[in-house]
Amino acid sequence: DIQMTQSPASLSASLEEIVTITCQASQDIGNWLSWYQQKPGKSPQLLIYGATSLADGVPSRFSGSRSGTQYSLKISRLQVEDIGIYYCLQAYSAPRTFGGGTKLELK
C-alpha cells in the first residue's frame, strides 16, 4: 500500500499568515493527490484535486503544488474560517490512503 506522510501534525498560525502543509508519498502517485478540509461535526470537504486543481467554490487563497513525490497545500492569507483539520489523500491506486492530518489553529 502507498503510505502518505503528512506534516506537521499541528500548526498554529496568525490571521493573514501564509500556511503550508506537506504530504510525502512513499512512491510515485503522479498528480493523484487530493486535499480535504474537515471541520468539527462535518464530512471532509474537497479543496484540491489532481495535486493542483482548485475544487469548485474553494477560495483562491488555497493552492496545491507538487515536487516529485512531495505535495503541498498552501493557504496564502489565513482566515478564521480556515481553521480545521486538513488531510491529503492519494487516489492513484487502491487502497486509497490518507495522510495523518494537520490540525490548524489560530495563534
Binding residue for another protein (CB under 8 A) from 19, 82, 87, 104? 87
Euclidean distance between CA atoms 43 and 87, whole angstroms:
12
Which one of 10-18, 44-52, 61-69, 75-83 is the stretch in contact with another protein (CB under 8 A)? 44-52
By C-alpha distance, which of 63, 58, 66 is closest to 30?
A: 66
Handedness of CA 80, 20, 31, 43 (dihedral sign): negative
Interface residue list for another protein (CB under 8 A): 32-34, 38, 43-44, 46, 49-50, 53, 55-56, 85, 87, 89, 91-92, 94-98, 100-101
